[in-house]
Amino acid sequence: MEKARIYVDYREENSGIPGILESLGLIVIREYLEIGDYIIPGDIIIERKTAEDYINSLYDGRLFDQISRLREAYDNVILLIEGDIDSIASIRGREKHVYSSLASLIIDFDIKIIPSSSPKNSAFILEALTRRVIESKGGGRVVIHKKPKLETIRDWQLYIVSSFPGVGLKLADRILENFKTIEAFCTSSYAELQRILGEKRAEKVKLILKTPYESESRKSKSLEYFKNKNPH
């Protein structure tokens, strides 16, 4: 009998989920995934978010950009929301916006949303999904979609600019219409970026452009770490 395989983004290791999946008998293959957190047979990709991260990503512009990229690359997208999103939304007074965003994901993006109470339960859900797909489809081949096929310079320009946080294809098109070249975009001032991207996205883009690269052997630091070390 074919063993169930699941591909996991290596950044999920701290959640403890990959280890639980292995204890459940799955073959866990850790890789750097360009999008999503878990890929299982059946052309299914899963994005895992804690309830707090879901709400944060909704308000900093990441959520729909991430979902759009997942939807462009995979036929079946599942959003696994871990934790009590109702309580967090209520505390922040954002219930209407949060539920509206969930409705949009389901109706407009055809995203399947699964709630989970903990990382352990998330692992159980992932195992059940993986095994069910193999049983129903008779195979466990996992397809990892890499970079899209890019044929023109314009395609590459849009792809490169849309890779920045909070920048989708529509915004990338606006950026290139404004700056004309990627070089001009990358060398522009913070004020110029802010005019097109808004304060939060401009700050993240500028941090990425100015922060020195660290090799994989050194501990990677988040954008927040460099927030006060890289002035505009």
Q: Which domain CATH number covers 54?
A: 3.40.50.10130
- Which residues have CB under 8 Å from 65's CB, separation 6+? 165, 166, 167, 168
Same domain, residue pair 60 and 89: yes
Same domain, residue pair 83 and 169: no
More confident: 133 or 229: 133
The share of the chain scoring above pLDDT 90, in percent, equals 41
Same domain, residue pair 39 and 88: yes
Q: Is residue 146 part of a domain?
A: no
Same domain, residue pair 129 and 48: yes
Would you state the structure tokens that stand for residue 13, as one six-digit string?
A: 């290791």
Confidence of residue 26 (pLDDT cuts 50, 70, 90): very high
Q: Is residue 231 part of a domain?
A: no
Per-residue confidence (pLDDT) for residue 40, from 0 to 100? 92
Same domain, residue pair 10 and 116: yes
Domain boundary, last residue among 104, 137, 170:
137
For residues 177-191, give the mean pLDDT. 93
pTM over the 0.75 mark: no
Residue 218 pLDDT > 70, yes or no?
A: no
Domain range for residue 13?
Answer: 5-137
Same domain, residue pair 161 and 130: no
Confidence of residue 43 (pLDDT cuts 50, 70, 90): confident
For residues 102-117, give the mean pLDDT. 94
Instruction: Give CA–CA dist 113/101, Å, rounded.
Output: 12
What CA dihedral angle connects 10, 104, 173 and 226, to 10 degrees? -40
Same domain, residue pair 28 and 126: yes
Domain boundary, last residue among 75, 103, 137:
137
For the chain, the distance separating the N- and C-terminal CA atoms, rounded to the nearest angstrom, is 57
Tell me how many domains the chain contains: 2
Q: Of 88, 85, 116, which is closest to residue 17 (Cα–Cα)?
A: 116
Instruction: Give CA–CA dist 141/160, Å, rounded.
Output: 30
Confidence of residue 107 (pLDDT cuts 50, 70, 90): very high
Same domain, residue pair 32 and 126: yes
Per-residue confidence (pLDDT) for residue 82, from 0 to 100? 95
Same domain, residue pair 19 and 107: yes
Same domain, residue pair 78 and 177: no
Per-residue confidence (pLDDT) for residue 184, from 0 to 100? 94
